[in-house]
């Protein structure tokens, strides 16, 4: 199988793979337009459709990270600290790319650019596996297919 789910946060040459498993990935595309209505006439008209950025929601568990099992609470907590740091956006220059899939046959990644974190929620109540959910917004709605650079 050459098309692999490989979610990661990428800034320059730094790649931070998201902890696994990730049983949920949702993407929401929306469009804006101007709506016009003529009084006393049925129907309406929409003009100027344009695509907005993409809202991305991922839900996962900290069971493994970078191929290594996270076997205790300290390891899981440290993994969440690393993810929290990778998701931080302090300004325009700190935005990141969100890689979703890797095509081993063509050595390309499918990803969004100009991403920023909207929300990072994590649940530490289960000592066997910490759960997390994150919401990311990609200003650029294009799903790119490129190499790592």
- Quote the CA–CA distance of 70 and 103 in Å, as a whole number: 27
Burial 54-79 (b: 16+ CB within 10 A, else e): bebebebbbbebeeeebeeeeebeeb
**How does pLDDT run across 14-70, given as a tens digit for each residue?**
999 999 999 999 999 999 988 888 888 888 888 888 999 999 999 999 999 999 999
Structure confidence at residue 49 (pLDDT): 86
pLDDT tens sequence across 128-138: 999 999 999 99
What are the domain boundaries of the chain? 3-31+49-146
The CATH number of the domain covering residues in 3-31+49-146: 2.40.30.200
Average pLDDT over residues 93-110: 92
What pLDDT does residue 47 have? 85
> Percentage of residues in the chain with pLDDT exceeding 90?
78
Q: What is the rounded average pLDDT for all residues in the chain?
A: 93
The pLDDT score that the predictor gives to residue 39 is 87
């Amino acid at each position: 199988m050459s098309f692999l789910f490989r979610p990661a946060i990428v800034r320059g040459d730094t790649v931070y793979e998201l902890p696994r498993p990730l049983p949920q990935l949702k993407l929401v595309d929306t469009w804006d337009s101007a709506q016009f209505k003529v009084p006393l006439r049925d129907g309406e008209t929409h003009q100027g459709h344009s695509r907005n950025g993409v809202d991305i929601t991922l839900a996962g568990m900290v069971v493994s990270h970078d191929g290594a099992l996270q076997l205790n609470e300290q390891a899981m907590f440290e993994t969440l600290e690393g993810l929290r740091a990778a998701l931080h956006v302090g300004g325009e220059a700190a935005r990141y790319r969100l890689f979703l899939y890797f095509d081993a046959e063509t050595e390309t990644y499918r990803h969004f650019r100009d991403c920023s974190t909207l929300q990072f929620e994590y649940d530490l109540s289960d000592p066997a596996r910490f759960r997390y959910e994150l919401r990311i917004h990609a200003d650029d709605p294009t799903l790119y297919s490129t190499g790592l650079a």
